[in-house]
Amino acid sequence: MREIIFDTETTGLDPKSGDRMVEIGCIEMVNRVLTGRTFHAYFNPERSMPSAAEAVHGLSDAFLANKPLFAGRAGELLEFLEDSPLVAHNAGFDFGFLNRELELCGLGEVSRERMVDTVAIARVRHPGAKLSLDALCTRYGIDRSHRTKHGALLDAELLAQVYVELLGGRQIGLELAAESQESVTVVARSVSKDRQFRPPRPHAASEAELAAHAELIETINSPLWSG
């Protein structure tokens, strides 16, 4: 199964208010194994970089000034993505920016049916725990010492390792892999909201059962509990 693990860096939090994508990093994984194929690009956002955003990823106006516009590499990106499932941490955020950029250059959006959100998976696996990428790397013993700032390709590489662990690790048998992937995808896409639950079965003994039990007790000679 081919999947793309990806991450984005942006000028802010809301693409609808004018924030833009400035970096995307994508990693190809087949059957949970990295193939070595990647797509990575920086983009000129055609607007200034807020200082708060620059503090997160370190991408300045000067650095991005000579980078291509998103439209210049959109075709190459879509060719790399193909029709594979797209895995991201807090995936709604990254999908929002990706689809906004596609919209701005007159291209159709990527269907959210392809979205796999590792935050949703982690929330089920580790309820009540911290779910940031850093926290999950710590939980699974994944080295992130080289991560001084956010970077799309670096974060995608870390997320790929986290994703494998969230699905059960590489040791999981092939006979369980398909079942695990299917159940996790259902959780990540929130299909479980439509699940139908059966009413609980009664557990109290009936009057007839209590009477039968009493009759049985009467037939026992010198029971231990009577002494």
CA distances, 72 to each of 39, 43, 218 (Å): 14, 9, 89
Whether 150 is catalytic is yes
Please list, residue by residue across 172-186, b when 16 or more beta carbons sit within 10 angstroms of its beta carbon and e when fewer do: eeeeeeeeebeebbe
CA distance 167 to 181: 7
Contact, 45 vs 11, CB < 8 A? yes
Contact, 2 vs 28, CB < 8 A? yes
**Residue among 40, 57, 126, 150 flagged as catalytic:** 150
Contact, 84 vs 3, CB < 8 A? yes
Contact, 98 vs 88, CB < 8 A? no
CA distance 60 to 66: 11
Tokens 């009540």 correspond to 128
User: Catalytic site residues?
Assistant: 150
